Each structure stands twice: as structure tokens, then as C-alpha cells.
Amino acid sequence: MDTAYSATVEDTLIQIVTPEGVRTAPTMYSELVDDITTDKLRDLYEDLVVVRRIDAEATALQRQGELGLWAPLLGQEAAQVGSARALEHDDFVFASYREHGVAYCRGVDPTQMLRFWRGSTQSGWNPYEYNMTTPAIIVGSQALHATGYGLGMKFDGAEGAVITYFGDGATSQGDISEAFGFAASFGAPVVFFCQNNQWAISEPVTVQTHTTIAERGRGFGVPAMRVDGNDVLAVLAATRTALARAREGSGPTLIEAVTYRMGPHTTSDDPSRYRPAALDDEWRRKDPIDRIERLLEREGAMDESFRACVEERADATAADLRRGCLGTVEPGPMSLFDNVYVDPHPLIAEEPEAYAAYLAGFEGAEKP
């Protein structure tokens, strides 16, 4: 397929599987996932279920006081799994703070996902081990980092592409606009993946824009497409399209994955204060896991044995997650100086000694 097209917006929502689990009429996008056999579709279903279970367990751990905070992804599993499974090893991910499903698909140990939220590390994992950054809390900043990294890949002649994730609310940040402009001007091999989950904390997406988010790419010369973010096959096809453009040197693409945040923005939030229950019910009927389960049932590929196997895998992952979280060793105060500089530095050599002496004096002081 020729992916070199002009800076336009595809406003038609790309969909391959309906909420009822029915395949739509064949299109250029459905052809891009012809390689997804029944076995691979079952693998995607397992990914969706396991990712949801990880999220549920982490939410429970936070409610029990074991995590300081957690950003749930309930309802957004297809957007994350579908896009992550389109990536190749050499591609690099710049995440926000909600891409736990992407991290799982990149091979990150679920326990490592929790260390940042538990406060037992300043990061979580080595980004170069998985070609994925750790959570970015500053909204939208990761899009600029992705653009810079993508330009570096282009100048170095490196293979691969870059993908960066953000929500609908982040599109109102200046960092996102700057990233769009820079990436378009210099042809950075970046896929901007917006998970439009309809809510930026308590504000609906209609406050962020009176057009589609995909439309915003046009002003910067960034081709864009809208995809049903609850359709894992459609997301997979759309992301493959955008990554192919990036790898062939055709520059950036914006993907708006239309999905819904079923839970709170973070565990410190109460969505019932600003969101009508009827809207939750409407989107619950579009659940990404139910959709693929219905498709598998229609195609005779879902039985109790397979379902039980997937649930067993999900429960085992959750048990490992909990065990790893509760067994995490809290960092000592001297770890503050780790990883500040790549090479030894005179200042870093002095400060730990002074801080260690301070701690020794503090610990040895008489208590009142």
C-alpha cells in the first residue's frame, strides 16, 4: 500500500469489528490485519484480559494503601494493546502516565510498573531495555521528547520509528503544538497517538476542541486518522499504517483513537461528580474485551477451556504483581545520588560524603 499521502484528515472512523463482534465490510485497513489468524486473535484477547487484570489489581493495591496513586486504563485496553502490538523492537515509545498496557506488551515486568507509583524508585525501569520511557507526569512533554528522538534517528540514519502517547486534554498544551510543528517541518518519523478517552480529568473533550482532535493535525501539516479505539484490530491496522509512513521517510502521523475512560482519571478522582452514569452505560456496551470475545464466539474460537486458561494467566499475573509490590525494598537515602550523571563528577563525589555525614549525625543525635 502506498502510504505517502498529503496532509489530510481521514474523518471516517476506522472500524474492523463492531461492538457486536461482527466484522465490517473489507477495506484497505482490514487488509492490513489479514495476517491476524485465529490463534493471533486469541493472543490479542489474552493481552486485553491480562492488561485489565493488571490494572484492577493495581487499583486495589492503591485503595489498600500500598500505592500512593494509580492512573487506571479501564476501557482503553484495545487502544494500547492494538498500537503496541504494531511496534517492532527498534521502535521507541514515549509514554504518558497511563500506558500500562503498552508497557506490558513491551515486556516490562508488571512489578516494575508499580515502583514509580509506590514511591520506591525515581523511575521504574531502564528505558533502553524495553525501548520505552517510564511515566511522564508533565502533561504533553513526552511529545517533544519523541520528536527530538525521532529527529536524532533520522539524522543518524537509524531504522525504526517513534510513537508517543497522550490524552485528549494534552492537545491543549503548547508542548503538543510545538511537537506537531517541529515534526512536520523536519519530517520526524513520529506517530502521535492520542487516546481520546473523552475526559481530561473533569472536563469533556468538547472543552478541548470544537473539531475532532485528528483535525488539529491538518494545521501543522500532519496527516491524521480517526480510529475506533475500542476495536483492537482497527487500532492495529491504523498504527501499522502510521508506522509504515514513518519508517519510509514520509514523516509524522496523528492517530486519534476514540475510546472512553471507564474509571477515574486517577485514584484520587471521583468521576461520578462530573460524569453521568448513562454515558458510562453507553460506552460499556462498546467494551473492547466483550467485542473480541463476541467475535471469537462467532468464529467458533471461544470455548470454556480457552476462557479458563486466559483467566488463569490473568490471575497468575495479578498474584505476581501483588507479591512483587509488597516485596519491594524501599530505597535508602543514599540512592538519591544514583544515576545523576553517566560519568563520575567531582560534585557528586563530594555531596554523598556530606550527606552521609549529615545522616550519621542525625541518627546519632539524642532523641527528645
CB 170 within 8 A of CB 95: no
**What's the CA gap between 205 and 228, in Å, rounded?**
16
Helix (H) or strand (E) holding 365: none
Q: Quick one: which of 231, 190, 215 has its CA closest to 79?
A: 231
Helix (H) or strand (E) holding 323: helix 304-326
Entry field: residues in the chain: 368
**What's the CA gap between 15 and 322, in Å, rounded?**
36
Q: Quick one: which of 79, 55, 99 has its CA closest to 258?
A: 79
Q: Is 265 part of the annotated catalytic residue set? A: yes
Query: Residue 141: how many CB atoms within 10 A of its CB?
Result: 19
Choose, from 85, 106, 265, 294, the residue flagged as catalytic.
265
Cell 511496534: give the residue: 87
Q: What angle do CA 270, 125, 71 make, to 5 degrees?
A: 5
Looking at residue 23, the DSSP 8-state letter turns out to be B
Choose, from 115, 261, 294, 322, the residue flagged as catalytic.
261
**What's the CA gap between 133 and 315, in Å, rounded?**
27
Q: Is 274 part of the annotated catalytic residue set? A: yes
Q: Quick one: which of 327, 285, 317, 257 has its CA closest to 46?
A: 317
Choose, from 274, 285, 323, 358, the residue flagged as catalytic.
274
Looking at the annotation, which residues are catalytic?
261, 265, 274
